[in-house]
């Protein structure tokens, strides 16, 4: 079960370019590239991460549901465990005895609602395409 959970949690994380050209074209692929400069032009909330580039990803866990993660640029490979952004992601990692191992992720006291909503939109697109 631990291996299955790890595979599900990490499948949606992959290497990619790091500046979004068009959000709508990126949704549905399991992840979306984000950058601080673009975030500040597209969203009303402050950029919540401590690195200027990264990726928000979504996976669907059979027990916990839709999981949303963040991985900074350079740590999007499947060998890394991303930072969970929602309860489902946290619970799936906890059940698998896994701890995120990516550095520099969430700013102290940052609001994550916008980032989670972006991730959930990715999940919605994935579910529609199945």
Residue 70: band (very low, low, confident or very high) from pLDDT cuts 50, 70, 90: very high
- Give 90 or 25, the one with higher predicted confidence: 90
CB 82 within 8 A of CB 13: yes
In percent, the amount of the chain with pLDDT more than 90 equals 58
Task: Report pLDDT for 115.
Answer: 95
Task: Report pLDDT for 123.
Answer: 87
The size of the chain, in residues, is 130
pTM, entire model: 0.76
Query: pLDDT tens-digit profile of 26-61?
Result: 333 589 999 999 999 999 999 999 999 999 999 888
Task: Report pLDDT for 46.
Answer: 95
Query: pLDDT tens-digit profile of 9-28?
Result: 444 333 232 333 334 433 33
Domain with 114, as residue range(s), is 2-129
CB under 8 Å to 9, separation ≥6 — which residues?
A: 59, 61, 67, 69, 81, 82, 89, 92, 93, 96, 98
- Count structural domains, the chain: 1
Planar angle of CA 34, 14, 11, nearest 5 degrees: 120
Task: Report pLDDT for 129.
Answer: 78
- What region, left, alpha or beta, does residue 109 occupy, with left being phi > 0 and alpha being psi -120 to 50 degrees? left
């Amino acid at each position: 079960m631990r291996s299955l959970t790890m595979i599900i949690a990490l499948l949606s994380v992959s290497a990619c370019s790091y500046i979004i050209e068009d959000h709508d074209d990126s949704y549905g692929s399991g992840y979306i590239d984000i950058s601080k400069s673009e975030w500040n032009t597209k969203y009303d909330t402050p950029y919540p991460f401590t690195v200027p580039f990264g990726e928000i990803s979504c996976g669907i866990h059979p027990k916990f549901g839709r999981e949303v993660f963040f991985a900074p640029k350079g740590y999007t490979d499947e060998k890394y465990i991303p930072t969970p952004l929602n309860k489902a992601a946290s619970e799936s990692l906890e059940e698998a005895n896994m701890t995120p191992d990516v550095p520099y992720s969430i700013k102290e006291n940052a609001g994550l609602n916008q980032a989670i909503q972006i991730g959930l939109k990715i999940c919605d697109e994935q579910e529609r395409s199945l």
